[in-house]
Amino acid sequence: MAKTKVGKTVESLGEYLREQRTGAQLSLRQLAEQAGVSNPYLSQIERGLRRPSAEVLQQLAKALRISAEQLYVRAGIVSPDDGVGGSVELSVLGDTQLTERQKQSLLDVYQSFLAMNAAAEPAAASDETD
């Protein structure tokens, strides 16, 4: 039976995590223990079968002693482009008073506003030239 990948972004995140783990000379078991996640779950993340939450990424970053922002970018949670919105996204992700579901909802709404504004820009520009 074939298993489907969650997505290309998640797959590259898994590859990146594996590289960081081996670079830190940690076994899968050791990293899972340090990050407070199960060994099978971490294995699935590394193989691109699971998409971890921002909280799990934070725990993995701490255990690997790397930037959580790097993992957010690799996971597609934060956009690496021109930095627009990055601070908003990072602020939401770093807020300890919100649940993971609330964080994701806020990020979804924020991204929809950015997309809506980007779609409206060409129309506004063409109105100005008329």
- The pLDDT value recorded for residue 94 is 77
DSSP for residue 84: T
What's the predicted TM-score (pTM) here? 0.62
pLDDT tier at 2, thresholds 50, 70, 90: very low
What whole-number distance in Å separates Cα of residue 11 and Cα of residue 46?
7
CA distance 120 to 7: 29
Give the C-alpha separation, 108 to 61, whole Å.
23
pLDDT at residue 5 greater than cutoff 60: no
Q: Which domains does the chain have, with CATH numbers?
A: 1-77 (1.10.260.40), 79-130 (no CATH)
pLDDT tens-digit profile of 45-72?
999 999 898 889 999 999 999 888 888 8
